[in-house]
Amino acid sequence: MKLAALIVAAGRGERAGEGTPKQYRRLMGRPVLAWSLEAFARAGVEEVVVAVSPQHADLAAEALSEATVRLIPGGASRTESVRAGLTAISADADIILIHDAARPGLGTTTIQRLWETIVAGAAGAAPALPIHDALWRGQGAGMEAVDRALLSRVQTPQAFRASIIRDAYAKAGAGLFADDIAVARAIGADVTLIPGDPRLMKLTVAEDFPVLESLLAGYRFTCVGNGVDAHRFGPGDHVTLCGVRIAHDKGLIGHSDADAGWHALVDAILGALGEGDIGAHFPPNDPQWKGADSERFLRYARQLADTQGASIVHVDVTLLCERPKIGPHRDPMRARTAEVLGLPIERVSVKATTTERMGFLGREEGLAAQATATLERPR
């Protein structure tokens, strides 16, 4: 059965404070919206459509630059966005999951349980958590207790047989609905609640971000990778280091652009992922990589981390050379590296040292680089 997903991300997120809408803000180094995309990819969801506000299309494109996804314009309300998304999803989809972008803590276990519930015969399914707090209605003398045993905190994604949810939205009026369950039940469809996940909390106000980060941290572990690279000097009038072209009286010899800084960093990221070294992924004897821009290698490493649900949280590059002088170019190097990895610049360190004129580096026969990458990975 073909599984498709619709992510609703057209809201403005005003309760989360001013600035960038919450679905595009950073959560543990990655845009909030990217987390759900990665979960769907790991779960084998074949088609993903994201409804976004046209005024934030550039933010959405940047957040999802490495994902295979289709962006569509959302509506003025969630109901309108879902209706547009259902129209955009391919007609051959059997099961459709509808998910709020503001719930980035989605895990593959939840997706699997939803799928199994629908395959077993349910028209729809949604994750839900019990309520443990005492509940009261009203104020003062008119207060009355509410039986919490009859209530649930329903989350997303909410999954449905495609024909049922399409029919439900086609028949739904212009009114606003609490969620997709309400739309499905309006045509008499039964929905099964499955165990929810505390990590699926909804980001609503700014204070929710550190709470969710704490929850996610308990399900993740830290990995550190190291990388080393060196290249000889040869004829030329510049070197490229950490993506920045620097005028010099020599060039660097290498099969690609010989960017030792980024090569070492790629190795560090691959090391943290347990994925070998740069040569295993980009063999130096393969002509397609001759003269290649090392940005391609670094973006590949970032995408590999994303595919595994890992977050690159900090990187540190040390360049070892007598010349060229790195100091004047340090901040542009940090900025370029941060741009490619999608990190805030404060999580990127670039520095330099010499060998006090000792060895091949001291004789200016070449230069070298060391890098360390710190990643958070799911358990």
- Cα separation, 118 vs 70, in Å, equals 24
CB 15 within 8 A of CB 58: no
Instruction: Classify residue 92 by burial, with Cβ atoms within 10 Å: 0-12, 13-18, 19+.
Output: exposed
- Cα separation, 6 vs 74, in Å, equals 11
CATH number attached to the domain at 3-217: 3.90.550.10
Q: Please choose, from the candidates 74, 68, 46, 50, the residue with its C-alpha nearest in 3D space to the C-alpha of residue 60.
A: 50
In whole numbers, what is the pLDDT of the chain averaged over residues? 92
Q: What is the DSSP string of 224-274?
A: EEEEEEEEEEES-SEEEETTEEEE-SSEE--SS---HHHHHHHHHHHHHHT
Read off the pLDDT of residues 214-250 as tens digits, 9 standing for 90 and up.
Answer: 888 776 789 999 999 999 999 999 999 999 999 999 9
Read off the pLDDT of residues 119-132 as tens digits, 9 standing for 90 and up.
Answer: 999 999 999 999 99
Q: What number is the average pLDDT over the span 290-307?
A: 91
Distances from the Cα of 192 to the Cαs of 116, 120, 122, 158, in angstroms?
A: 11, 11, 7, 10
CB 295 within 8 A of CB 328: no
Residue 19 has pLDDT above 80, yes or no: no
pLDDT of residue 26: 85
What's the residue count for the chain? 379
- pLDDT-based confidence at residue 363 (cuts at 50, 70, 90): very high
Listed in order, the ranges of the chain carrying CATH 3.30.1330.50 are 221-378
Listed in order, the ranges of the chain carrying CATH 3.90.550.10 are 3-217
pLDDT of residue 13: 58
Helix (H) or strand (E) holding 111: helix 108-119
- pLDDT-based confidence at residue 105 (cuts at 50, 70, 90): very high
Helix (H) or strand (E) holding 307: helix 295-307
Read off the pLDDT of residues 179-213 as tens digits, 9 standing for 90 and up.
Answer: 999 999 999 999 999 999 999 999 999 999 999 98
State whether residue 94 is helix, strand or coil: coil
DSSP 305: H
- Cα separation, 295 vs 195, in Å, equals 43
- Cα separation, 59 vs 127, in Å, equals 29
Distances from the Cα of 159 to the Cαs of 67, 91, 123, in angstroms?
A: 22, 16, 8
pLDDT of residue 16: 56
> Strand 70-73 relative to strand 47-52: parallel, antiparallel, unpaired?
parallel
Does the domain formed by 221-378 have CATH 3.30.1330.50?
yes
Q: Which two tokens stand for residue 165?
A: 């949810």
Residue 17 has pLDDT above 70, yes or no: no
